[in-house]
Structure 1
Amino acid sequence: MPQTADDLDAVAVRTWCSLALDALGREREAIDAINVYPVADGDTGTNLYLTVESAAAAVEAVFAAHETGFSAPSTADAVRAMAHGALIGARGNSGTILAQLLRGMAEVLAQGAGAGRLCLALTRAAASAREAVAHPVEGTVLTVAAAAAEAAERVAAGAGAPAVVRAAYEGARTALDATPEQLAVLGRAGVVDAGGRGLVAVLGALVEAVSGRAPERTYETPALAPVPAAVADCPAGDDPQDGPAFEVIYLLEAGDEAVERLRTRLDGLGDSLVVVGGDGLWNVHVHVDDAGAAVEAGVEAGRPYRIRITHFAADRLHARPEPAQRAVVVVVPGDGLGGLCAEAGATTVLARPGEPPASGELVDAIRRAHAREVVLLPNDGDLRHTAAAAAEQARAEGIRVALIPTRAAVQGIAALAVHEPDRSFDEDVVAMTAAAGATRYAELAVAERQSWTMAGICQAGDILGLIDGDVAVIGEDVPETARKVLDRMLAAGGELVTLVLGEDVPGTLADMLEEHVREGYLAVDTVVYRGGHQCAPLLIGVE
């Protein structure tokens, strides 16, 4: 329950996260509906909700850890967990900016959380968020955050924490109502800024967490008449029309200097660039036409992971976009395959080593695909229950979902290759299922320890060739093991070999295997892809 306190202690932080999550849960669809800037993809409310959900989960984890030791976490523990959770779970442009706002507040509140510190925290939050955006635009959540901080400063002297946060909330409300006058695309659509609307909800939750009472005036989105196009001519760069095709988001482990170079590189590739974080961990968000180049820039800067690439729907330009008829959601084991699938029009979810995606991530991806019909390719037999749960949740939300039980990435590639959105949904699913089912799959892996396998006893460091999930070959080096695996697979026939090389595997391996296939199996073609970071050394498919 909310508590009255003149300080934002750990319990109040926990309460704030819970109340903010409840508020965004209630208002998610309404915020999605007014999302027209920077891209009218109708997901700002959802992205903010998922970002705060991650922040709240991190705070709960801190409390759970302290409960085992029968002690309460400190305010510093709670606010740092909140900021870290938001950073690693940030979604979309709006969620990334909110994560930086929370990080800015945490930097100050970790040193103390009285009224004066709350005021400083709001000021630091607004400044750090503006610094994180490559090209700040007025009339957005940045303007609303700045107004909240300025309103808090005006009452800070001699006021308690409840008065400070109430002033911030009222200042944010007033600024939000003015956003259609500052940003022409909002005025033409007759809406306020969606990200700013979400921030007002978060600040309202802060008021209740600190004072024990919800704001006296709850915010209701004003009904604005759209400004005629002839009056609200849009300045250059103010309209999302003809924008980049992809949204690319990833976490990045890198140093400050590398991140500054990355900012410059990504700024030249696209727009809506936001890079937030610090202390070696960053969340990168950008809209680009070349998704692969954006990911490669991250690889050059450090270690990118949790990579999400979304292909914007062709109808994203409308204030309330109609869903596309059909989309494909694909789980991929490496960023290279993620770029490949995204360029084919799919929405991707990265499967990190040892961290398979949760059903919530898959549901999020299905929502981001923004389609009436979705084909889901999990590409991993161990994900069948997770994928089934995600599909069931999406169906409950009115989305028609077909789950094709692909067990490997190469089966997903085969299915995606025959995808034709113009034919009927059932026919498309049957064709994709048939293509996946006709693809045998193999993977090369390095044994971590001595173990019994179906091919005999392996030692740590041995190269294992797994065919259809079972160890079939044990070898001492990658090239020879790969040749033996190919020979076993092609003994049963085949027309096409697909090779997916991991990041550290030299291209000469592909050349050698292509020659091996060409010389021994005349009627078989070979295609080669780069799996990128986090992909296995070699994936093989035979159709």
Structure 2
Amino acid sequence: MEVIRGRDCTVSVGINGAVSVFSGANQYDLSMPVLEVFGAEALRDTVITFRDTMKRHAAGINLLNVYPVPDGDTGTNMSRTLDAVVTELEGADHALEPTCEAISHGSLMGARGNSGVILSQILRGLVTTLRTTTPGSATKVAAALKAASVASYEAVLKPIEGTILTVVRETADAAQRAASDGATLAAMLHVARAAGRKALANTPEQLPVLKDAGVVDAGGAGFMLLMDAALHVVDGEPLPEPSEATGPSQEQLEAVSHRASLSGEVDVSELRYEVMFLLNIEDAKSKEFMQAWGKIGDSIVVVGGDGLYNCHVHTNDIGAAIEA
């Protein structure tokens, strides 16, 4: 049994996933009210807090970045993507529909790098559910997390477990189980985050390159800051301090490189160019476009809809990527 302590409750999660919630305050910062409904202001505050927290943690997340390419920019790209979202929010009305539209449009237009494009799809999946008129209950927020997970998998041509995709999926599944067991919004988020943290800690067991480097998945670590931000807004929980980890040693990075050379597969780090652009294309043809890119590159992520997509690929053939 796992015990998770929130401000006004203690949540126990049994080995079968069943959730029990017990009342009674724990040692917590009481400066903020506990929210029972996740509305427009909570969503706005969560995204802004997520951006601010990501900025503080970006350098540490960059150090974790060894997959798919050890270029140390995951935290930076997620931060820049969120900057674009917050800029869009600042010009939007505070009602739910324009707030959701600003998050969706800002993340699509401002996505940076592989991690930023996936984050864009996660945010777009979230607001697709949250923008409906029903109150933002635990059940609705859990459904939004599940929609985010489904959307993120659909955006990636070759989904790989042990990445942010796994962390989001495990978080969402735990959220839905907790909500179905009657957990409050805060309790559900605590359970979901605990599952996400467990999934993140397990990523090196799923993706050998992470184990070689002695790190967890960088994108997954970035996503968990969204859960931290949500719990700060909903339950008043203090935000985490940046990690003091130093990242992989030179010996570990050499082990990563050695594994790639032994696998016989194309090492993504050997694909010289990262190509990104916005593309107007019929929605029905987006999968065909992804398949065409699959023949010339890797780390392919295509997000969007309604005829406009943000596209990302690592390749050695820029011309073919543009002409696909």
Contact kept in structure 1, 2:60 and 2:245, CA below 8 Å? no
Paired residue type of 2:74: T
Indicate the residue corresponding to 2:202 in structure 1: 178
Q: Give the aligned CA root-mean-square deviation in angstroms.
A: 2.6
Task: Give 1:114 deviation, angstroms.
Answer: 1.5
**For residues 46 and 223 of structure 1, do their structure 2 counterparts lie closer, same or farther at Cα, with a shift above 3 Å needed?**
closer
What TM-score results when the alignment is normalised by the length of structure 2?
0.81
In 1, the alpha carbon distance for the partners of 2:107 and 2:305 equals: 13
In 2, the alpha carbon distance for the partners of 1:145 and 1:213 equals: 21
In 2, the alpha carbon distance for the partners of 1:286 and 1:161 equals: 38
1:75 aligns with 2:75: no
Paired residue type of 1:60: E
Indicate the residue corresponding to 1:126 in structure 2: 149
Structure 2 residue corresponding to 1:164, chosen from 188, 192, 198: 188
Superposed counterparts of 1:254-269, under 5 Å:
254-269=281-296
Indicate the residue corresponding to 1:281 in structure 2: 308
Paired residue type of 2:86: A
Bigger RCO (CA 8 Å, 6+ sep): 2
Contact kept in structure 2, 1:248 and 1:288, CA below 8 Å? yes
In 2, the alpha carbon distance for the partners of 1:35 and 1:53 equals: 20
Q: Which secondary structure does the structure 2 equivalent of 1:62 belong to? A: coil
In 2, the alpha carbon distance for the partners of 1:256 and 1:104 equals: 16
Structure 2 residue corresponding to 1:9, chosen from 21, 29, 39: 39
Deviation per residue, 1:392-437 (Å, 9 max, x gap): xxxxxxxxxxxxxxxxxxxxxxxxxxxxxxxxxxxxxxxxxxxxxx
Deviation per residue, 1:321-344 (Å, 9 max, x gap): xxxxxxxxxxxxxxxxxxxxxxxx
* Deviating more after overlay: 221-230 vs 132-141: 221-230
Deviation per residue, 1:493-514 (Å, 9 max, x gap): xxxxxxxxxxxxxxxxxxxxxx
Indicate the residue corresponding to 2:18 in structure 1: none
Paired residue type of 1:92: G
Structure 1 residue corresponding to 2:219, chosen from 181, 195, 219: 195
Task: Give 1:8 deviation, angstroms.
Answer: 1.7
Indicate the residue corresponding to 1:22 in structure 2: 52
In 2, the alpha carbon distance for the partners of 1:50 and 1:171 equals: 27
Q: Which secondary structure does the structure 2 equivalent of 1:156 belong to? A: helix
Task: Give 1:12 deviation, angstroms.
Answer: 1.0
Indicate the residue corresponding to 2:25 in structure 1: none
Paired residue type of 1:124: A
Deviation per residue, 1:255-292 (Å, 9 max, x gap): 11232221121111111100111112211011111112
Paired residue type of 2:157: A
Structure 1 residue corresponding to 2:82, chosen from 49, 52, 76: 52
Q: Which secondary structure does the structure 2 equivalent of 1:42 belong to? A: coil
Contact kept in structure 2, 1:190 and 1:227, CA below 8 Å? no
Task: Give 1:233 deviation, angstroms.
Answer: 5.3
Contact kept in structure 1, 2:171 and 2:195, CA below 8 Å? yes
In 2, the alpha carbon distance for the partners of 1:222 and 1:185 equals: 18
**For residues 270 and 191 of structure 1, do their structure 2 counterparts lie closer, same or farther at Cα, with a shift above 3 Å needed?**
same
In 2, the alpha carbon distance for the partners of 1:2 and 1:289 equals: 51
**For residues 229 and 245 of structure 1, do their structure 2 counterparts lie closer, same or farther at Cα, with a shift above 3 Å needed?**
closer
Task: Give 1:238 deviation, angstroms.
Answer: 7.3
In 1, the alpha carbon distance for the partners of 2:287 and 2:156 equals: 13
In 1, the alpha carbon distance for the partners of 2:189 and 2:278 equals: 31
Deviation per residue, 1:214-245 (Å, 9 max, x gap): 36x77858789959959x95684777366311
Deviation per residue, 1:181-201 (Å, 9 max, x gap): 111111111111111110011
Indicate the residue corresponding to 1:43 in structure 2: 73
In 1, the alpha carbon distance for the partners of 2:105 and 2:84 equals: 9
1:31 aligns with 2:61: yes
In 2, the alpha carbon distance for the partners of 1:160 and 1:184 equals: 37
Paired residue type of 1:16: T
In 1, the alpha carbon distance for the partners of 2:288 and 2:266 equals: 27
Q: Which runs of 4+ in 1 moved over 6 A?
A: 221-225
Structure 2 residue corresponding to 1:248, chosen from 266, 270, 275: 275
Structure with bigger helix share is 2
**For residues 79 and 212 of structure 1, do their structure 2 counterparts lie closer, same or farther at Cα, with a shift above 3 Å needed?**
farther
Superposed counterparts of 1:71-110, under 5 Å:
73-110=94-131
Indicate the residue corresponding to 1:62 in structure 2: 92
In 1, the alpha carbon distance for the partners of 2:244 and 2:303 equals: 29
Deviation per residue, 1:308-329 (Å, 9 max, x gap): xxxxxxxxxxxxxxxxxxxxxx
Contact kept in structure 2, 1:21 and 1:52, CA below 8 Å? yes
**For residues 228 and 259 of structure 1, do their structure 2 counterparts lie closer, same or farther at Cα, with a shift above 3 Å needed?**
closer
1:294 aligns with 2:321: yes
**For residues 18 and 75 of structure 1, do their structure 2 counterparts lie closer, same or farther at Cα, with a shift above 3 Å needed?**
same
**For residues 161 and 218 of structure 1, do their structure 2 counterparts lie closer, same or farther at Cα, with a shift above 3 Å needed?**
farther
**For residues 219 and 122 of structure 1, do their structure 2 counterparts lie closer, same or farther at Cα, with a shift above 3 Å needed?**
farther
**For residues 242 and 96 of structure 1, do their structure 2 counterparts lie closer, same or farther at Cα, with a shift above 3 Å needed?**
closer
**For residues 125 and 241 of structure 1, do their structure 2 counterparts lie closer, same or farther at Cα, with a shift above 3 Å needed?**
closer
Indicate the residue corresponding to 2:177 in structure 1: 154
What 5-or-longer segments of structure 2 have no aligned partner? 1-30
In 2, the alpha carbon distance for the partners of 1:17 and 1:115 equals: 18
In 2, the alpha carbon distance for the partners of 1:246 and 1:27 equals: 27
In 2, the alpha carbon distance for the partners of 1:125 and 1:236 equals: 32
Structure with bigger strand share is 1
Contact kept in structure 2, 1:187 and 1:227, CA below 8 Å? no
Paired residue type of 1:204: D
Task: Give 1:94 deviation, angstroms.
Answer: 0.5
Contact kept in structure 2, 1:8 and 1:75, CA below 8 Å? no
| Count, aligned residues | 286
